[in-house]
Every structure is written in structure tokens, then in C-alpha cells.
Amino acid sequence: MSTYAPRRKDIVRNWHVIDADSQVLGRLATVAARLLQGKHRPQYAPYLDTGDHVVIVNAARVRMTGRKETRKLYRRHSGYLGGLRSERAGVVRRNHPERLVESAVRGMLPKTKLGKAMYRKLKVYAGPEHPHAAQKPSPCEVS
């Protein structure tokens, strides 16, 4: 009996929508990363992108535990000398609330070309509306 190996043409991608309203950021990110990687499927293979598309709404209302709102730093670099910029989580939430969720999910994905392909299937929106209703996403619960 030979081992089953999934092929790229056999992969069927589903769409999931997650409501981030009053959800803890880390727990939300682990659920999204698991769906993006395809680890919830029986035909998961670590060398193929078998994951689904994930839409996260209400990213502005995600919850951060402890004192992360005032103490956690988000850094980015422009590539130029002296181009390092740091912002607190509260400032990031005020200006770009979807970046909180995006960076948490990105940190939980593989740091390879495959991880970048998985990350491209993530769509994050600050409010409750999203333009992906035509794909008929199924609601996903965060436990």
C-alpha cells in the first residue's frame, strides 16, 4: 500500500470568515494560520499549499490581553540608514487596525516562499463589511 500524496490539481480551496469582535488576538491568529496552512484537512502536506482563504472582519475590535496595548512595539524599517520606525500597539490600532491581525498571523506562518503564498490568501478588514460575499465564505468560530 503506497502513501497518499496530494497533487496541486486535487486541492479544493474553501473560504472562511472569522469575526474578530472581542476575540483575543493570539487565539484568533492561531485559528487563521491553521486554516491558511491547511492543517485542518486530512490531505495536509507540509510541502504543498493545501490551505483555504480566510477573511477576518472587525479587526479594529480585537482584544489584546495584559498591557500589550501600551507596551507592545511594532517595528518596520524603510531600508535606509536611520529608517527604523516603532509604534505602540495602541497607535497601530488607531491608525491601521488590520495590521495588528496581519502581523500576528504572518508570524505564525512559515518563513518561506510557501508561507508567503499562504499569507496572500488572508484578507483582513477593520469593519464588519467585506467584498468577498460572492465566494460564500463559511463562518468559523474561535474557541
Is 135 within a domain?
Answer: yes
Render the burial of 51-82: b for 16+ CB within 10 Å, e for the rest: bbbbbbbbbbbbebeeebeeebebeeeeeeee
Which pLDDT band holds residue 1 (cuts at 50, 70, 90)? confident
Is 115 within a domain?
Answer: yes
CATH of the domain at 55: 3.90.1180.10
Grid cell at residue 107? 508570524
The residue assigned the cell 465566494 is 135
Is 27 within a domain?
Answer: yes
pLDDT digits (tens, 9 = 90+) for 67-96: 999 999 999 999 999 999 999 999 999 999
Q: Taking the model in full, what pTM does it have?
A: 0.92
Is 32 within a domain?
Answer: yes
Is 48 within a domain?
Answer: yes
